[in-house]
Amino acid sequence: MIKTEDLRIRDPYIVLHNNTYYLYRSYDLAIWVFKSRDMKTWEEPVKVYTIPENSWAYTDLWAPEVHLYNGKFYMFLSLLGKNGLRGTEISVSNTPDGFFTPISNRPATPLDKSCIDGSLIIDGGKPYMVYSHDWPDNYVKDRDVYVGEIWAVELSEDLTTPVGEPFFLFGSNECPYSALAAAPTEWEDGIIMRYGSDAPFVNRLSNGKLFLTWSPIPANNYVVIGAVADNIKGPWKHCEKPVFDKNGGHAMFFTDKDGTLKMCIHCPECEPLERALILTVQEKEGEIVLV
């Protein structure tokens, strides 16, 4: 058994199914799942995804998300394509620990942009994927900075095909908190200045509104911050204070066995110290906050 505090992991994602917790991790060009009954110790991992032969992608897989949808489990996974651009691929399995197979040999994100961290949300009875359009193809020349953006696209009912054109939600420089300062980011052989837009994830609040969390890097401090809207197309109102601001992020949310809302992030944002941090959160005054 492996203790949570001993497991190095970035972009953790937890699913509770049939009284078992499943924790997904990218490692060694594959996706692995750990099982647990208490989220304190985990069984040795099982491999559940590798890049197929003749795939559109070839390396750099990370940020797996697994959603139960129409009776099956769908993995949204970021990969680097053979065209040099990143994209989010969707794969499917009948069980949370079964092997996941791509539903299409192309990313669900646009083919002409570098996009990561796709996530599923159902709004108005339709499936949508929210995602980040981020570096290296989001350079704003007149500001000499890379500006991350959050986008969304409607998907077909079987999730195999984008429906219509993607639509813009907001840029990371529009949020007052994340606009405080761009962060230096290592890229190729140098340093770029970047307003990040990692890990969009959407919760439905009890009042029916949507609460979208994401992780920028203001002043070089990885955080989780939120925005609220009536529906996926916005407009989005940015929260003044982050949900978490102690150099951890890439948040996802789930309900535990006791019916308590939890947020899972990796913390700190510092190689090789990253660990899964599971925190209790609650709704308060139309936002999600730490308890």
CATH of residue 253's domain is: 2.115.10.20
- Over residues 29-82, the pLDDT tens digits come to 999 999 999 999 999 999 999 999 999 999 999 999 999 999 999 999 999 999
- Residue 218: its pLDDT value, please? 81
Chain mean pLDDT for the chain: 95
**pLDDT higher than threshold 80 for residue 181:** no
**pLDDT higher than threshold 90 for residue 141:** no
**pLDDT higher than threshold 90 for residue 18:** yes
Whole-number percent of the chain with pLDDT over 90: 86
Whole-number percent of the chain with pLDDT over 70: 100
The total number of structural domains in the chain stands at: 1
pTM of the model: 0.96
Distance between alpha carbon 69 and the CA centroid of its chain, in Å?
17
Question: Phi, psi at residue 71, to the nearest 5°?
Answer: 85, 0
User: In the predicted model, what is the mean pLDDT of residues 277-285?
Assistant: 97
* Structural domain of 170: 2-290
For residues 10 and 134, the model is more confident at: 10
- Over residues 197-249, the pLDDT tens digits come to 999 999 999 999 999 999 998 877 899 999 999 999 999 999 999 999 999 99
- Provide DSSP, 49-61: EEPPTT-SEEEEE
- Residue 128: its pLDDT value, please? 98
- Residue 238: its pLDDT value, please? 97
Q: What b-and-e string marks burial along 148-176, b requiring 16 or more CB atoms within 10 Å of the CB?
A: bbbbbbbbeeebeebeeebeebbbbbbbe
- Over residues 255-275, the pLDDT tens digits come to 999 999 999 999 999 999 999
- Residue 187: its pLDDT value, please? 78
Quick one: 255 exposed, middle or buried, by C-beta within 10 A (0-12, 13-18, 19+)? exposed
- Residue 135: its pLDDT value, please? 77
pLDDT-based confidence at 137, cuts 50/70/90?
confident
Within 10 angstroms of residue 117's Cβ, the number of other Cβ atoms is 28
